[in-house]
Chain A
């Protein structure tokens, strides 16, 4: 199984809502990543978890809150988002942080209204 599964595929939320994005992998990878991608732009790294500990936070606003409950799961909790946060949110995993082959999920298309 070389799959990274993200749910939901699409999400529409209001600016006062609280929602969560979920990412799951069963490849035994110990590094997991969140990216944000706007249209026609490259993926932008947000967070890196290594062995279930947050190792990198790329100065992401606190309205995005990551969580890694175990080695297979990665969540991104969303609260009080702005319309400019609308984007494709991608999750990825690799054997360890910095390992050269990362597997990406299909992403969650988020729209903030």
Chain B
């Protein structure tokens, strides 16, 4: 069964360093997302991406964050200068899109745990 894959599974970094989290969405999906989850809390929306551009972003997704689809398969999240409060699980998700403009069901990867020291 097709799945969303994420790398790395865990990354430890120093405050102020740049981090890139990578995702390979399901191959025939059109919509891509990043969510994050601080330990013990709910899953929070960061950004959605469609047709090679950001569709929507949350207040969390400030200038320190960026997303890119550098080729036909990868979808990346970059944090330019990490802060302690960026420590969280980051989940990539994709959906295939449905008739009528619905994005359809989201399928999630296993997540990348980011620890900022």
- Bind each other: no
Residues of chain A whose beta carbon lies under 8 Å from any beta carbon of chain B: none
Residues of chain B whose beta carbon lies under 8 Å from any beta carbon of chain A: none
